[in-house]
A = this chain, B = another copy of it.
């Protein structure tokens, strides 16, 4: 998606530790009109696949998921991290290791919100090692719902999470694939 690549080049910042900061439009300040274009692009890619539920993970997947769900005219379910008072016991849960935070946390979805018969598209802001996506995929599989595919706004393809999922036969679409980036020069190179 050319508009996205342009935005990453214009507004993204590269930090040590393979961190690409795009909080000017994707995950702190949200450029909602732009995110609408993201939603339309995922709809274009997964149209005619029977998607009837979008699944993402809090917090930075929610705005993206909302815009994607809007295009599909279907509900969004966001998986929660850790257990809160407001989730009853009947949940699917899986551990996920966080690349960003260097910790492991639990990810859960109430069982009544993921069901056999659902055709699920998983979306998230970033795909790097793929831990969050693998966690969400495992929740979908446990529920008996059908996984249609995954969509990441930005894939850091040099961390190989996306290619590993594709090698397992899972459809993964990323709107921009960062092949390399350098925090010393700020240079970002995309995969074609």
Knowing A30-B69, A30-B75, A30-B76, the reply to whether A84 touches B63 (Cβ < 8 A) is no
Contacting residue for A59 out of B30, B62, B100, CB 8 A: B62
Contacting residue for A28 out of B17, B35, B113, CB 8 A: B113
Decide if A86 is an interface residue (CB 8 Å cutoff): yes
Knowing A62-B62, A100-B84, the reply to whether A73 touches B28 (Cβ < 8 A) is no
A-side interface residues, number (CB < 8 Å): 38
Decide if A116 is an interface residue (CB 8 Å cutoff): no
Knowing A80-B59, A85-B100, the reply to whether A110 touches B66 (Cβ < 8 A) is no
> Which residues from chain B contact A69 at a C-beta distance below 8 Å?
30, 32
> Which residues from chain B contact A31 at a C-beta distance below 8 Å?
75
Decide if A19 is an interface residue (CB 8 Å cutoff): yes
Decide if A9 is an interface residue (CB 8 Å cutoff): no
CA–CA, A179 to B163, complex, Å?
A: 53
Work out how many copies of this chain go into the complex.
2
A185 CB, nearest partner CB in chain B, Å: 19
> Which residues from chain B contact A78 at a C-beta distance below 8 Å?
28, 30, 59, 63
A32, B76: Cβ atoms under 8 Å? Answer: yes
Q: A residues touching B (Cβ–Cβ < 8 Å)?
A: 17, 19, 21, 23, 27-33, 35-36, 58-59, 62-63, 65-67, 69-70, 73-78, 80, 84-87, 100-101, 109-110, 113
5 cross-chain pairs, A with B, having the tightest CB-CB distances, nearest first: A58-B59, A32-B69, A62-B62, A30-B76, A59-B59
